[in-house]
Amino acid sequence: MNKPLILITNDDGITAPGVRALIQVMAEIGEVVVVAPDKPQSAMGHAITINSTLYLNKVSAADAKILEYSCSGTPVDAVKLAVNEILHRKPDLCVSGINHGSNCSINVIYSGTMSAAVEAAIEGIPAIGFSLLDYDWNANFEPVKGFVRKIALEVLKNGLPVGTLLNVNFPKLETSQIKGIKICRQAKAMWAEKFDKRTTPYGKDYYWLTGEFVNQDSGEDTDFWALENGYVSVVPVQFDLTAHHAMQTLNSWKLNDTSN
């Protein structure tokens, strides 16, 4: 049987240790093609490039077993270019990461890592975003490689429900300390932002965004709880943003009433 074709991307850039770790694991499973940003693109969300040119450069050697390309755009640009310009067929799986830092809870909205996976899912490709709760560039990804492999193989074997992908987050622990894998919901949380206002030597104001992550959810079935308690969190994510539960309420409004 032919090996599965696996597309790898990320938002930390093609040289990031996290994506190198992901490449090592996926190369044991299937035929790997890497298309990733040429520089860090964290917190880009689902941004795409429309007002400037995009560049795609092959960075692997001609005889390399793994094809690697760097993209001048966003993580979503990388997936779009991979699907439309590089791959000879739709990949069997797209994996994004391993991100340096957690993408649990509301962070999924801002994450370039997850948006790349979402773009793949929109294309009908089974997709997973992987993140490690360690923001250090030299983070140790060895303890989570076995979990990455297991989850990827399960997705390849079973597929995913239509319109969904997986958001997987790992705690910063040794393999023996990780208690297991939990299927979770996204925790209700937010960033309490602050702006550090400064002034240039020329008298012009500028700002640095800072903030504090505020968990507003005491549930023990959330991704935040899982990470805090030594579990790998797996959240099924959908890209249909319709608030279906609100439709009945809105239909009760007199929106078609011409009397006012």
Strands (E), 55-188: 56-58, 67-71, 93-100, 127-132, 164-170, 180-183
| pLDDT value for 243 | 93
The phi, psi pair for 222, rounded to 5°, reads -100, 165
E strand or H helix at 154, and its extent? helix 145-158
Minimum mean pLDDT range among 86-100, 119-133, 213-227:
213-227
Question: Token digits for 73?
Answer: 């755009």
Cα Rg for the chain, rounded, in angstroms? 20
Report residue 61's pLDDT band, with 50, 70 and 90 as the boundaries: low
| pLDDT value for 260 | 67
Give 103-137 as a 3 state SS string.
CCCCHHHHCHHHHHHHHHHHCCCCEEEEEECCCCC
Report the pLDDT averaged over residues 56-66: 82
pTM score over 0.85: yes
Strands 5-9 and 31-37: parallel
5-187+219-251 CATH choice from 3.40.1210.10, 3.30.950.10, 2.60.120.580, 3.30.530.20: 3.40.1210.10
State whether the Cα torsion 112-240-127-135 is positive or negative.
positive
Report the pLDDT averaged over residues 204-222: 88
Report residue 2's pLDDT band, with 50, 70 and 90 as the boundaries: confident
C-alpha distances in angstroms, 178 versus 63, 138, 146, 182? 39, 20, 11, 11
Minimum mean pLDDT range among 9-23, 54-68, 153-167:
54-68
**Residue boundaries of the structural domains of the chain:** 5-187+219-251
Q: Are 47 and 109 in contact (CB under 8 A)?
A: no
Number of neighbouring beta carbons within 10 Å of residue 122: 16
Helices (H), 179-234: 223-228
CA angle 150/152/156 to nearest 5° reads: 115
